[in-house]
Structure formats: C-alpha cells, structure tokens
Amino acid sequence: MGLRSFTHRSTHGGASLPALSLVALLAVPCAGTTAPAGDGASTTAIEVASVPSDPAPVARMRALDQRCRSAIPATTFQQAAEALSQVRAAIGRLCSIELVGDTPLQWRVSCGADDFFASGRHEFGSPTACEGGTNAFECLGHGLRSMASHLDSIDVAVVGHVDLEPPVNQRLDCRDLRDGWAESPWPRVVRNRDRANERLAWCRAARAADSVRTGLGGAGTIRVASVGLASQWLSTRMNPTAEGATCPAPTTEADVPADGRCQSARRVDLLVRLAAEPSAATTACTRQGDTPADVLYCLEECAARPNASQSGLSNPPAFLGGNATSVQPRPGIFVTRTAGSPAVELDAVLRRLQL
C-alpha cells in the first residue's frame, strides 16, 4: 500500500474539514494503542480532457489555390507578342524597341526627335509614314489598339530630351498641349532660352503622348505621364566645356559637341506597360469538395503543373502609383500625368528607360 495520503484541499485556507476529520479519525486517542498507519484516504480525481483542434483553414487554402491558378492568361502574352511585333514592324525603322524585364508586357521605345520635329519646334514636321498613323507615336498607339480590350490599362510614360542648344524662341510655350493634365507643367512662362529649352523637352513629350492616344483611338484605358527631362540625358554623358568632348553615340556630322549640339540627345523615349488582368486559370481543380484533403489535393495539383518557359510571367511593376504620392519637383524637369492617373514614380521610369 502506498503512503498515507490525504484529500487535496484548497490552498486558501487551513486544513479542509474532510482531511482533518480523517486525520482525527486515524489518530484518535485510544488508550494503549499505537497510532495506526493510515491508508486509503479518499482522493479527488483530476480529469484531463483533450481540447479540440481548431478547424483547418480550408478557406485560406482555397484562396491559396486560387492564387496559384490565377495568372495572366496565356493569350494575353501571345497577343502582346503579336502587338510588339506589329509595332516593331511599323516603327522599327524610326525607333528602337526593346523589352524591359523579358516580358512582352513592358516595352522601351526610343525615337530620335529629329525624325519628327524641326529644330526648336514641338510641332511634328513632315509626316513619317507608318502603318496605322502619320508618325511613329501614332503608329505605336495604333499597334496597341488590338491589345487594349484585353488589358486593365496601358501605362505610357513619354520622356522628352533636348540637347544644350536652346531654341531661338525664348517664350516657347505649347499652350495647346497643356490641357488635360492633372497639373500644369509650369505656372508661367519665363523668358529665357535655357528655360525655353527645358519647356521644349516637355512639349515634345506631350506631343508624342498625344499622338499615342490618337493612335489608340479611344480603345481601352490609357494612363499617360509626360516628362520633360531637359538636357539631363546629355549632361550626364558629356561635358561640352571639356577638351575633346564628343557627343554620345550615335554621332552625326551635324553634331557640335562644344556647343552642346548632339543629335543623339534630341530624342523621345517611351516606356509602355501593359497591365493585364490576372484571372482564374482555365484549369480548375479536378477534385471537388471542401475537406482538408480536398483542398490540399487541389493545391498540389496546381503547384505540380509543369513549369514551362515564360509561364511565370506576371505584370511588370507599375510606375504610376506605387509608393509615390505626388510628383517630386526637380529643377528644369517637368512631370505631368493625365487626370485621374496615379502619381508618377519618376525614378522608376528613368531606371527602366536606362536614363
């Protein structure tokens, strides 16, 4: 038999009555007897029951499965590749087109300004024939037209560059282009040729942007940012006062580096982002049911799909919106966006344009 044991009692008081009674009974004085070795005291059983588990997060697993199966439809990529080839065929002679990030959903288009604008002007010169329009920018918009209905939006950032040779017209202004933006590029025109040169960069960008919209013909949603980057591109590549300075490639015979006159610096760059709508994949789970085993099966089925080249493509990061809440003003640089467009992440634009 075990040790003498006593009923467990409350810890907040003295000995419990049953316990003491028991002790008293065990140790009750009996003349001529020794104290008995007590056994068999009653005990209070402590029952421990299992606690039920929470239900499995089936809904969350379903969401994971949907996320796995949700992707930009393959047809979007096919169409984007088709549009890219079409645009390239249309304006490839005038502008270079490259993919940004190996996705057909983001393009970098660079055009020489001299092909479209006369010196010191922001109006288009003679038409540059291409399929779908009268200039490369309009043709670019036209090439995107077939894609527009399959996209959430088309984001276009147009960046105008000038060299260091200022225009003759120190009051240069493009009043006809200043409407329709969320903000005015400049509050007032400053009579100064250098300032006019800065305005010229924006005006050319705005003109190109306007043409892209014209080419789209109202199809889909387009969000445009127009950036006048002045001569920053050239300034970071050439110091005209340095001895033996040369213009950045490609150079032409008309370049005069000492005067800051470089054809390569007179350009318009466009960053085109096609924002597609991810959708539930065409491949639904082959197993029905909402048990934990069912949702695990579906998740594995989705994850186990073969990984083919390019199949992991997703929307490229946005350059409109993001963390930027407003345009950060910089001297000589004008940034505007179409009304209703999110703020422009200028650094993201310049980085992707490799400027």
Contacts of 263 (CB under 8 A, 6+ apart): 112, 114, 163, 247, 250, 251, 252, 254, 255
Phi/psi of residue 340, nearest 5 degrees: 90, -10
Q: Are 247 and 262 in contact (CB under 8 A)?
A: yes
Distance CA 186, CA 205 (A): 15
48 near other proteins, rule: CB under 8 A? yes
Please, which residue, 309 or 325, has the CB nearer to other proteins?
Answer: 309
Please, which residue, 256 or 293, has the CB nearer to other proteins?
Answer: 293
Q: Contacting other proteins (CB under 8 A), which of 7, 70, 169, 170? A: 7
* Only segment of 41-49, 156-164, 218-226, 229-237 that touches other proteins (CB under 8 A): 41-49
How far is it between the farthest Cα atoms of the chain? 134
Which structure tokens are listed for 54?
């929470």
* Only segment of 151-159, 175-183, 285-293, 342-350 that touches other proteins (CB under 8 A): 285-293
Q: Contacting other proteins (CB under 8 A), which of 224, 271, 295, 348? A: 295
Q: Are 157 and 349 in contact (CB under 8 A)?
A: yes
* Only segment of 31-39, 156-164, 201-209, 219-227 that touches other proteins (CB under 8 A): 31-39
256-275 binders of other proteins (CB under 8 A)? none
219 near other proteins, rule: CB under 8 A? no
Which amino acid is located at 259 in the chain?
Answer: D
Contacts of 65 (CB under 8 A, 6+ apart): 285, 295, 298, 299, 302
Please, which residue, 227 or 298, has the CB nearer to other proteins?
Answer: 298
Q: What is the dihedral of CA 118, 123, 172, 207, to 10 degrees?
A: -120
Please, which residue, 80 or 268, has the CB nearer to other proteins?
Answer: 80
9-28 binders of other proteins (CB under 8 A)? 9-15, 19-20, 23-24, 27-28
Distance CA 290, CA 299 (A): 12
Q: For other proteins, what does the binding mask look like between residues 66 and 85, x meaning CB under 8 A?
A: -----x-xxx-xx-xxx-xx
89 near other proteins, rule: CB under 8 A? yes
| DSSP code, position 259 | G
Q: Which of 164, 207, 166, 210 is nearest to 190 (CA)?
A: 166
32 near other proteins, rule: CB under 8 A? yes
How many residues in the shown chain lie near other proteins by CB under 8 A? 93
Please report how close the Cβ of residue 280 comes to other proteins at its closest, in angstroms. Answer: 13
Q: Contacting other proteins (CB under 8 A), which of 171, 191, 287, 330? A: 287
Q: Contacting other proteins (CB under 8 A), which of 66, 301, 338, 355? A: 301
157-216 binders of other proteins (CB under 8 A)? none
Please report how close the Cβ of residue 244 comes to other proteins at its closest, in angstroms. Answer: 22
Phi/psi of residue 200, nearest 5 degrees: -60, -40
Please report how close the Cβ of residue 123 comes to other proteins at its closest, in angstroms. Answer: 24
Q: For other proteins, what does the binding mask look like between residues 118 and 157, x meaning CB under 8 A?
A: ----------------------------------------
331 near other proteins, rule: CB under 8 A? no
253 near other proteins, rule: CB under 8 A? no
Residue 144 CB neighbour total at 10 angstroms: 28
Please, which residue, 10 or 323, has the CB nearer to other proteins?
Answer: 10
| DSSP code, position 28 | -
DSSP labels, 94-133: TEEEEEETTEEEEEEEEEEGGGTB-TT--SB-S---BTTB
Please, which residue, 255 or 345, has the CB nearer to other proteins?
Answer: 255
